[in-house]
Amino acid sequence: MNFYSVAPFIQQYYPAYYSIETYPADRCVCIRKVSDEWGILGNFARTRIFINNVAFKNSEQLFQLMKFTDEEPVKAVYQAANPKYTAKYWEKTHRRSDWGSIIVDAMKFCLSKKYEQSEEFRFALSQTKDLFIVEDQTSFPKKTADTWGVKLVGNNFVGPNLLGRLLMELRNGQLNFTLPDNALKFTEYLNPRQRST
């Protein structure tokens, strides 16, 4: 099994999300690039989130930091230009042991905080009413979509679409999550007085 693969975690801990979904393409709002029309819905959109007086540049950075409880990887990921790739470097040795069992709840937390703190995001999400939300990975080199997205197959988008599903749950007021007490321990290492803005 690929150490970085999300699917086994979903299958084991979140079986309700372990499925392949199909959506008619003409009824979908597609997340592709941050600069595109619906880019604000993506995790890399520049929507600042504040947690325990620490500023995060977007929900992706926040999500990647939730993988760690040790100071060294936390500071490295926080300062990185691309937190996703830096987190991948540190995961082999420092990823929290329960990450698989909290991964979806962690993403729900990040999306919920983004919703609470970004008026632009709330407005865009409300504009998707009655449409499906998908992360379109059709241009990705992989043959099939990963856990978070979909690929265009004929007139339909097909894939697990976990990000889109969580966004639709959030839009519909159904996004509930539970996290362990130390889920935000990483913020202790990011003292606002010691970091650059």
Alpha helices in 34-127 (DSSP H): 59-65, 71-79, 83-94, 99-117, 119-126
pLDDT in tens, the chain (197 residues): 688 899 999 999 999 999 999 999 999 999 999 999 999 999 999 999 999 999 999 999 999 999 999 999 999 999 999 999 999 999 999 999 999 999 999 999 999 999 999 999 999 999 999 999 999 999 999 999 999 999 999 999 999 999 999 999 999 999 999 999 999 999 999 976 554 44
Residues 6+ apart with CB under 8 A from 92: 3
Decide if 112 contacts 170 (C-beta within 8 A): yes
Q: Which of 2, 183, 3, 9 is nearest to 100 (CA)?
A: 9
Beta strands in the chain (DSSP E): 21-24, 28-31, 49-51, 54-56, 132-135, 151-153, 156-159
Q: What is the pTM of this model?
A: 0.95
